[in-house]
Amino acid sequence: MLFQIRDDNPEVIARLEAHLHHLAEQATAQGRCGVKVERIRTGVPAMMTPAFQDAIEAASAACAGGKSIRMPSGAGHDAQVLATLMPAAMLFVPSIGGISHHWSENTDDADIVTGAEVFVDTCRRLLAG
């Protein structure tokens, strides 16, 4: 199995990883087959630029009726790397059925259009200062 533990707080990530180790130990003790946890990769949470996030929220209010939520993302997107060098933020559009990072992921065309409108309005707001 492959687990991804994501949070914007490294302490939460460490606590969840410790709990996963504990669950593996319990499964090993109770089962016929041993279970071990092996860390493959560790990412460092990157905080997005608040002014960029504010601009995205304002653009969402204008273009999408405010149907947005500000949320952290532990995804290994380019923004995670770029945020260490320059201001960054991410804009997500909803996936049909909430399915993400899977071959069956899809987004409704109307949501893609709305996302593009929010993106353009966000850029306009940032460039206007």
Residue 6's pLDDT is 80
Amino acid at 87: P
Q: Is 121 helix (H, G, I), strand (E, B) or coil?
A: helix
Residue 74's pLDDT is 63
- Angstrom distances, CA of residue 102 to CA of 5, 66, 95: 17, 27, 11
What single DSSP character describes residue 86? S
Residue 75's pLDDT is 63
- Angstrom distances, CA of residue 80 to CA of 73, 83, 89, 121: 9, 6, 9, 23
Extents of the domains making up the chain: 1-45, 50-128
What are the two backbone dihedrals, phi and then psi, of residue 62, each rounded to the nearest 5 degrees? -75, -40
Other beta carbons less than 10 A from residue 72's beta carbon: 14
* pTM of this structure: 0.74
Nearest alpha carbon to residue 48 among 15, 78, 16: 78
Task: Report mean pLDDT in 10-residue bins for the chain, 129 residues.
Answer: 82 93 94 89 83 95 89 73 90 92 93 97 96
With beta carbons less than 8 A apart as the criterion, state whether 71 and 112 touch: no
